[in-house]
Amino acid sequence: MTPTIQVPVPNRTQPFWLQERHALTDHVAAQEVPTEADIVIVGSGISGATCAHYLYKELQKRGSSSRQLKVVLLEADALCEGATARNGGHCKPLAFLGFRADAKRHGTKAANDALVFEASHLARYTSIVQEESLDCDLYATRAFDIFFDAEDAEQGRLDYEARKELFPQAMQDADIRAVYDREELCRLSGVKGGLWGAHYPAGHLWPYKFCTQLIEKQIQRGLQLYTHTPVQSIESPSSGVHLVHTPRGTIQAKSIIITTNGYTAHLLPELAEKIIPVRGTVCSITPAPSHQLGSSPGPFRYTYGMRKRAGESDYLIPRQGRGLSGVGDQSIILGGAKGVFLAKTEEWYNNVREDQLISGTREYFEKFMSHRFDGWSQGHQSIDRIWTGILGYSTDLLPFIGALPTRPEGIFLSAGFTGHGMPRIPGCSAAIVKLALAHFEGRQLASAQAAFEEVLPAPYLLTQKRLDEKENLILGYMGHQGGQEAEMTPAEEGTARAHL
């Protein structure tokens, strides 16, 4: 299946998160882009916004004057109206799922390091929100992973127990607790029919507000923002010189950070078979009377990941108010519905039709709450909004972070988050910014690369070897028949344990 290069479509479905647009929605610093810039960031979603944040933070730590560095952020659309404005707002790390498969592919230490990295991100979001005084409804709670299929539950349990045996301190530090008793699982989570589950710290926020306010703060520090300014191409006529062509003019830059995720192949066609746009769907729901204050069982307290079988998962966050907990909007954000459309590959794989809903997903969401949650008021169906969005899936299921080996020095990539960017992106942005700054400043790149590799999970690193890999694990990961999927047999599991 050879993907074609895709670009965003007009007249897209409208998500919950865009009902309150920021004043900088259509901001342009000037009618024409500057002819020169020190660093150009492409994309204004969570990756682009956090890259800008960490860039100015790094400059401040070094005692540099941020206004002496010319940084330009280019966005093809309105500010932050791509995938970030269409996701579930869920900062839920992987705690153990896939541990054995990742141990097989990358080694037990690398598999554990990646999970530790994800678990650190709730603290990262908290730190950014507090430092920058962002009003984005960040709420820290716990997440439940709940399994409904016996075989899938068994695989989840084996992942949990394998990581716990090999890395007990990491599991304790992350406060991951399994629930083996079905009645106890229902009592704790409020979810009916679960066979096995676990819970651990997680959080949620209003992603659009997080990003737009974060970018606004960087503009105050000198960032130049150009919305509705698509990058048409990147040309590198000589060493250390890159030309960024846009309809508003051409920028000559020394360092470029590309954060375009599902649309990366538009700028980097050599990655057309490595990062694939995948269509997903999300909705917002008004809580039933049974799940509002003063009723029983009352408001939701936790977030959820609910798995029917491989690939078929749903997730849910319960908003806790607007600005202050318990005050204002308390919508439920529910995403997934994959069981409705996974068998129809053309509905989601290499599909960017954000202007259309996926057939059958509204009906799925309308029945979901009463089907899954104990005590949900019968007959209550209130899908307020439903929308689609484009995720960037990498063919090996892991993000590509680092300097592009296919281009001259100075072009960096942070993309391919495979629908799981919230608990990965800020840490990746912090790392890539230091690498881009080192290149701009002409410092020792070997030592900068070594420091970069120290802070990121090894499987995330963008290497020529990863780009040369021919396998595509996406279909198998999504439970699609005939797709490749990394699995671990009991014998291989024993081998992985022996490698510790």
Higher pLDDT among residues 3 and 346, named by residue = 346
State whether 342 and 431 are in the same domain. no
Which of 23-37, 92-106, 311-325, 412-426 is the least confident region? 311-325
**CB contact at 8 A, 281 and 357:** yes
State whether 256 and 346 are in the same domain. no
Q: Which domain, by its residues, includes 158? A: 139-203+277-394
Which of 237-246, 271-280, 455-464 is the least confident region? 237-246
CB atoms within 10 A of CB 251: 26
Position 440 scores a pLDDT of 87
pLDDT band at 417 (very low <50, low <70, confident <90, very high): very high
Close Cβ partners of 51 (under 8 Å, ≥ 6 residues apart)? 41, 257, 259, 414, 429, 432, 433
pLDDT band at 498 (very low <50, low <70, confident <90, very high): very low
State whether 338 and 401 are in the same domain. no
Position 446 scores a pLDDT of 81
3-state secondary structure of 139: strand
CATH code of the domain in which 246 resides: 3.50.50.60
State whether 43 and 58 are in the same domain. yes
In angstroms, rounded to a whole number, what is the distance separating the alpha carbons of residues 287 and 289?
Answer: 6
Residue 131 covered by a domain: no
Residue 382 covered by a domain: yes
In DSSP notation, 53-114 reads HHHHHHHHHTT--GGGS-EEEE-SSSTT-SGGGGS--EE---SSTTHHHHHHHH-HHHHHHH
Kindly report, residue by residue over 124-162, the tens digit of the pLDDT.
999 999 999 999 999 999 999 999 999 999 999 999 999
Mean pLDDT for 252-264 is 96
State whether 184 and 309 are in the same domain. yes
State whether 291 and 188 are in the same domain. yes
What is the domain count for the chain? 2
Kindly report, residue by residue over 22-34, the tens digit of the pLDDT.
999 999 999 999 9
Residue 113 covered by a domain: no
Mean pLDDT for 410-417 is 97
Distance from CA of residue 342 to its chain's centroid? 20
State whether 265 and 314 are in the same domain. no
State whether 416 and 382 are in the same domain. no
State whether 193 and 302 are in the same domain. yes
In angstroms, rounded to a whole number, what is the distance separating the alpha carbons of residues 345 and 260?
Answer: 23
Partners of 41 in beta bridges: 73, 257
pLDDT band at 49 (very low <50, low <70, confident <90, very high): very high
3-state secondary structure of 415: strand
Handedness of CA 9, 11, 14, 19 (dihedral sign): positive
Residue 500 has pLDDT above 90, yes or no: no
Model's pTM, two decimal places?
Answer: 0.94
Choosing from 333, 365, 394, the residue where a domain stops is 394
Mean pLDDT for 467-482 is 84
State whether 356 and 421 are in the same domain. no
State whether 214 and 282 are in the same domain. no
Position 239 scores a pLDDT of 78
Position 497 scores a pLDDT of 33
Angle of the 425-441 helix axis to the 46-61 helix axis, nearest 10: 50
Helix or strand run (H / E) with residue 277: strand 275-285
